[in-house]
Every structure is written in structure tokens, then in C-alpha cells.
Structure 1
């Protein structure tokens, strides 16, 4: 499971790296345009930059959910759980993980429906006119992987195993 969530997070990281690279090039082009404008030389920014960044950011953001869940990188109310008996903490983990599994599956279902509707409606990005629906599917995969991680963690909590896998 660790290898799978790390791999998926790396895809998100690659999307973020591409966003940073595109932004650096775009800012450099815009700066060059400001400097060279006095000599009637125009340097345009990246055509469709906003479209590409919006699509890549949507993929990247959701790609980190499974890793965050696997490592326990979520909000926990330690003030109430830490001083309570161990069984209360375990019950809390089981309920929280089970609810998270349900929420992730719910989101995956509705994202898939959204992707199909966006495809049917023929929605495209504003500048490049790229179809938007293919960029929904990595989000669906992220939600399904998140649900799988939460389900495994639910089973682990039922067996009394530690909830966090790696540094939080």
C-alpha cells in the first residue's frame, strides 16, 4: 500500500513540478516583455497557461489525499482522545476510518458522474479548448485509492494495529 500511495503522490508531485516550471517560464516571458517593450519587441506569455495550470492543479491536489490518509496527516482531536482509555481511541479510529471510506467512495462516484456529464456537454477549457473530462479521471482514481487506504486502515484499527504508516 505504501508503494502505491507514494507512486500516486509522485504523479501529483510531477504535476506540481510542471506547474512550477510553466510558471517560471511564463513569468520570465512576461518580465522579458516588460523590458523589451521599449524597443518594440514583444515576448508573449505561454498561450493557454491558465488552462494548463488549472487542469494540472486539479490532478495534483487530489493525488495527495491517499498518502495523507496513509500517514495519518489529518486532524485529530488529541485533547479528548489522548487521555481517554485506549479502547475509546480505537473505536474512534474505526469510526473515523469507516466514515472516511464512505466519503471517499461518495466523492469518487459523483466525480465519475461529473466526468461523464462534462464529456456529454462537451465542456472545454476557455483558451486552449481542451476537453475537461479526461482530467476528472485522475481525481476519481485518487478518491478510490483514498477509499482503499481508509478501508485498510479501518481493518487495521479493528485488529488494534497502529494507524500511522510513516512520518506524519
Structure 2
């Protein structure tokens, strides 16, 4: 299960990275096009719309990997001096809170997706359905929920074993 979860999170992050690279290339082409208007070049049509949808996808695509690797911002100024068992409890509570937050975000994202699909709203320039961006972000959001639920069980395992469990190649 651990390897499957890691592969799922890593694949999601790789897709997010590829999308960001493609968006960067498109942005550069668009900027060059704007700068070269006097010589007949043009910017990429609808570049802002594509960036909006692509960045949303990328952000959600990085969440599963971030959750698996415990890469969210942490302030452990006070907890670093606490006993390991108390820190395990804090980690478990934090994992549960993050899981609940991700589930709520994914639920609301799904609600937004169904609303945009129902109303048939399209983007201004490219006229592509707005729900496409929601659907693209929804898939990695679901993956983030799966990884986060898995991580709750990892933290429970740490409490019962009283030692860190290796997940995703790192010891937590």
C-alpha cells in the first residue's frame, strides 16, 4: 500500500510539474509575441485563461506529495522540546485536521464543478467550459484526500508502535 500511495503522489506531482513547465513556456512565447507586435508577432490567445486553469491544476497536483512528505509549513519552535510521544499526538491531530480540510476543499471543488457544468459557463476569450479547470483540479484533490487519509493511519501506527514509521522513503 505504501508504494502504491507513494507512486500515486509522485505521479500527481510530476503532472503538476509538467503543467507548470508548459505554462512557463507558453508565457514566454506570449511575452515574446507581445514584445514583437511591431514585427507581426502575437501573444498566445487566451494565455491568462490557460494559466488560471493550469496553475489551479498544478497546485492541487502538488498537494498529495506535500502531504506524504510532510512538506507543509510547520512551526515547531515550542514542540521541538516536547517528548516524542506528545509530538506523535500533535502530528496525529495535525494530520486529521489537514485531512478534514482537504476533504472539505475537495467537496466544495466538486460542488463548484457541478455548478459550472450545469450553467455552461465558458471563458471569455477561448470559450472553453470553465468546468474543465475545476475537473482538472478535482482529480488531484481526490488523490490528496486518499494520501491524507493514508497518512492519518500512518500517524496512528506511530502512536501504537511508539516509533517512527517509514513512508515514502523518509522516516516520520
TM-score, reference length from structure 2: 0.86
Q: What are the residue-to-residue correspondences of 1:36-51 with 2, within 5 Å? A: 37=38, 41-51=39-49
The size of the alignment, in residue pairs, is 162
Q: Distance in 2 between matches of 1:24 and 1:134?
A: 24
Match of 1:102 among 100, 103, 107: 100
Root-mean-square deviation (Å): 1.9
Classify the secondary structure of the residue corresponding to 1:82: helix
Q: Is 1:84 aligned to residue 88 of structure 2?
A: no
Classify the secondary structure of the residue corresponding to 1:151: helix
Q: Distance in 1 between matches of 2:71 and 2:166?
A: 11
Match of 1:130 among 107, 114, 128: 128
Segments ≥4 residues shifted beyond 6 Å:
none
- Aligned partner of 2:30 in structure 1 is 26
Q: 1:147 to 1:115 in 2, by over 3 A?
A: same
* Deviation string, structure 1 residues 71-117 (Cα, Å, up to 9, x no partner): 11112232221111111101111111111111111111111110000
Larger Rg: 1
Q: What stretches of structure 2 of length at least 5 have no aligned partner? A: 159-163
Q: Is 1:7 aligned to residue 7 of structure 2?
A: no
Q: Is 1:53 aligned to residue 51 of structure 2?
A: yes
- Aligned partner of 1:65 in structure 2 is 63
